[in-house]
Structure formats: C-alpha cells, structure tokens
Structure 1
C-alpha cells in the first residue's frame, strides 16, 4: 500500500509543468502555442527569455530528483524496495509526459529524466548530462543530444550497478523519451530541426505585442 501511495505522489509531483508555470510568472505566452509546442525548457528558450528557460529546466529536473530522493530516503521506514523505487522513478517521469493538471499534455521529459537519474545516483546523472552537453555543443541540436543521452543512460546504469529492477525503469524512460521525440527524429532526418537558441517566430510576435 505504501508503494502505491509513493507512486501516486510521484506522478502528481511530475504533473507540475514548470514550463507553463514559469511562462505565466514571467508573462510569456503558453509554450504549448509556439515553436515545437512542447512545454519544456528548450521551447521556453525560444521565447527569448533565458531566465524563464533556466527556471523551467531547474524546476523540471528538481521534481524528478525530489521524487526519487524522497522515496530513497523513506524507503526503509515505509518498506519501499527496489521495485518501488523503480516505479516511483517511472511515475514522476510519466507525470511530466502526461500531467493530470494540464489535460495530459506534457513535455518530452529530458530535464525530468535527468533529475530522476541524479536522484538514483549522482554519477549516473552526471555521465548522462555530460553526454547531452557534448552532443549539444558539437551539433547545436537539443533533441539529438537528448536522443543520444537516452540511449546511453541504461548502458551507464548497467555498467555501474548491473541488471536490476531500476535498470528496467531507466530503459523504459529512455524508450518513452525516444518515442516522445519521434517528430524530432523526422525533422532531424529532413534537416528541419530547430537549433538551440533559435527564436520561434510565433513567440517573437507574442513578445512584441506585450511590449
């Protein structure tokens, strides 16, 4: 019963969309209405507001980290085993993808997945983050960096800890992340994918109207 409660709580934590929350706080257009339509830090950056994008990135990563950290911290007290931790990790990630508070229209999960990985193990998260940074710096495509980092994340976990229930959760997150980036994959192959920092025309017009 405790595991079920932790999983539900993790899903609700994941359902808080910081892209939408921060956009409202900074007086920006809803990130679901411009650019890729994805409520995430990269799309918020297309509004031209770097502070809002950074706040979104930190918030989305923090909720993934917090849900896993809390479950690990309270695991012994409430009898949460590795299977429960794996389910909590998946639940907070799924909450971001399909948030109950925003009509199940969520982001693609890159920052939240990173937060989950950092919560599971700092070195696992840092290795995955380093992979994202290297690819993003080399090619200037956030989506490509996310795809490659997602592929490597389960490999890093297996290398560090071997095969267990949590490895399957990490692999499932990676699979879902790849699925959520299916349109980006098509755009990358067609040469139509937006590069990091490119400002959306719709976002620019909306910003101009508010000035």
Structure 2
C-alpha cells in the first residue's frame, strides 16, 4: 500500500512539474504576448525561436528538460528508482498535456531527454548522440527526435536496464504519435530542413517542440 501511495505521489508531483508551460511564461514575461498565437501555436522551444529570441528559446529548452530531470531526481532520491521513473514519465505527460492549457502542450522531446539523462545517463547520452548524428546527416530535426526516441529503449536493454527500456519505450510511442504530422511530411519529402527556408507555415513544430 505504501509503495502504491509513493508512486501516486510521484506521478502527481511529476505531472505538476512537467505541466509548467515555461515557453508561454517566458515569452509573456518578455513582453512577446501569447506564444500560442505565433507560428505553430506550440509552447516548445522551437516555436519560441520563431519570435527571433534565441536566448528565450534556449531558456525554454533547458527549463523544459530540467523540469523533467528534477522530477525524476527528486522522487527517485526520496522514494526510490521506480518512483523516479514514474515521476519523469509523468513530467513528460504534463508537458505534452498540461491541464492549465486544456491539455495542449509540447511534443515532449526535451522533457524526454531530461528524464532519461537522470534515470540513466548512458541512455541519455545515447539519445543525444542519436539526435545529433541523424540531424547532421539528414538536416531534419524531427527525424533526429524520432530516431533518438527509438534509440532509448534499445540502449537501455543493451546496458541491462529493462525498467528504463519499458519507460522510454512507452514514451517513444507517445513521441511518435505526437509527431504523426511530421512523419507524414517526412514521407512526402516536405519536412523543413535545419537552416532551410520554409515554403509554408507548418501546422505543428517541425523540430519536435521540446
């Protein structure tokens, strides 16, 4: 019973931390209005970058990753490894489906990376490497995110962390679902490339909306 209570607390705490919409808060504090009225309407760092403020986009990226990492670290330290995994996954869910914004949030890649780095840094580094290599070769950020999401459970199994493999596998499924429009554009050869010129506004954040 106590374990179930701990896991419930971890899930709730992780969700609340993850649901803090840093992109929205930062842009409003900077006097840029509602980020949801700009570009894709997403609250992630890539859409914040569309305001022309690289500093705000970087801050959003770090905070979105950090909130998930902090959730996993705090609950993992006080309530155990499983609670840390649950809190990190819940932070991911909170970012993607924040109750404060009618459950319309980001695509969770930054929160995914933040969580994985804390629960298993070797897997986290593998995820980052997979994104960087894929993005460098194909110049498509969203493709890098999709490959990185797949790399996580594989890397976790290789190093003998089935618990991390299960968590990252479930989150990878959500990442693919949230990127379904990007996948469609990739298959059609229409996904914007890094540093390339967009021919038309994308309906969602092409770089995975961290």
Under TM normalisation by the shorter chain, which class is it? 0.7 to 0.9
Does the 8 Å contact 2:140/2:193 carry over to 1? Answer: yes
Q: Displaced runs of 4+ in structure 1, greater than 3 A?
A: 196-202
More deviation in 88-97 or 174-183?
88-97
What does residue range 51-200 of structure 1 map to in structure 2 within 5 Å?
51-75=55-79, 80=80, 82=82, 84-164=83-163, 166-197=164-195
Alpha-carbon offset, residue 139 of structure 1: 2.3
Aligned residue-pair number: 196
**TM-score of the pair, normalised by structure 2:** 0.85
Q: Provide structure 2 residue ranges, at least 5 long, that are not aligned to the other structure.
A: 202-210
Structure 1 length-normalised TM:
0.85
C-alpha distance after superposition, 1:135-174 (max 9, x if no partner): 222222221110110111110111112423x321110011
Question: Which structure 1 residue ranges, 5 or more long, are not aligned?
Answer: 203-211
CA contact (8 A) 2:76 2:85 kept: no
More helix by share: 1
How has the CA–CA distance of structure 1 residues 199 and 71 changed in structure 2, closer, same or farther, with 3 Å as cutoff?
Answer: farther
Report the counterpart of residue 206 of structure 1 in structure 2: none
SS at 1:28's partner residue?
coil
Contact 1:39 1:106 in 2 (8 A): yes
**CA 1:188/1:11 → structure 2, altered by over 3 Å: closer, same or farther?**
same
Distance 1:12 1:68, change over 3 A: same
Check if 1:44 corresponds to 2:48: yes
Aligned to 2:204: none
Deviation, 1:13, is 0.3
